[in-house]
Amino acid sequence: MDQPKDTSDPDVAAVAALDEPTRRRLYEHVVRQPEPVSRDEAAAALGLARQTAAFHLDRLADASLLDVVYERRTGRTGPGAGRPAKLYLRSDRHIAVSLPDRRYELAGELLAQAIEVSEATGEPVRAVLHRKAEELGEELGRDASGGIVETLEQHGFEPRREGDAIALANCPFHALARHHTGTVCGMNLHLLHGILAGLGDDRLDARLAAEPGRCCVRLEPAA
């Protein structure tokens, strides 16, 4: 049986870093500035000791909320120009935390790919969507470091073993599936077919089995 492992979420850790009030104020100050901010500038703007500002700015950088660059503010170069200042600016990293887990960006990417390929080739959008979802699922399965249960957990499905089957307690595309059930559930079905194929798991098969409060797909023993 697959055993779930600890999968600490760096996005959760990043959001938790902002729970400290001084750190949150420093983050908000840095992202409002048009140019990178030095430790001295941040400390003066918020009325903090330089050491305190430096500590919290580095914690924000460790959490990938801020990026660090080094520049000479004097404009001088060469010997005697002094050491470059350590400066902070907003990170390009996108951070999102959702409970239950939602993966709307993944769905949006698949749907956009399907539309673009369909317009270029004339192939029906739904057929392209199913193929792209299965290709992505295979990639996810090949890249997985564990078995089916761990892989499903990592991608937000909340698997629950029920005898030889696996029910999925969460749909990562919940809001979309409510309003576009056929499109999204078909995409999800092919995504899960692909994950099983990528893992090389021929013991299970993904099948549509809509139940209230659960994902529309269930993994049943293969015939």
pLDDT value at residue 143: 94
Answer whether 10-90 and 104-221 agree in fold.
no
Query: What confidence score (pLDDT) does residue 72 get?
Result: 79
Segment 154-192, tens digit of pLDDT: 999 999 999 999 999 999 999 999 999 999 999 999 999
Residue 103 has pLDDT above 80, yes or no: yes
127 vs 81 pLDDT, higher one: 127
Residue 3 has pLDDT above 50, yes or no: no
Average pLDDT score over residue span 15-39: 91
What local confidence, expressed as pLDDT, does residue 14 receive? 81
Task: Answer yes or no: is pLDDT of 216 > 90.
Answer: yes
Quick one: what percent of the chain has pLDDT higher than 70?
Answer: 90
Average pLDDT, the chain: 89
What's the confidence (pLDDT) of residue 114? 97
The pLDDT value recorded for residue 147 is: 92
Find the range with the poorest average confidence among 16-20, 110-114, 144-148, 197-201. 16-20
Helix (H, G, I), strand (E, B) or coil at 36: coil
pLDDT at res. 2: 40
Rounded CA-CA distance 166/219 in Å is 5
Rounded Cα–Cα distance for residues 180 and 137 (Å): 20
Condensed to tens digits (0 to 9), the pLDDT of residues 56-86 reads 999 999 988 999 999 876 655 555 556 788 9
CATH code of the domain made up of 10-90: 1.10.10.10
CA distance 136 to 172: 15
Class of the 104-221 domain? alpha beta
Q: How confident is the model at residue 217 (pLDDT cuts 50, 70, 90)?
A: very high
The residue to which tokens 């005697």 are assigned: 80
Whether 128 contacts 112, CB under 8 Å: no
What is the identity of the amino acid at 126?
R
Spatial contact of 201 and 212, defined as CB atoms under 8 Å apart: no
Handedness of CA 17, 23, 28, 29 (dihedral sign): negative
In terms of pLDDT, which residue wins out, 210 or 169?
169
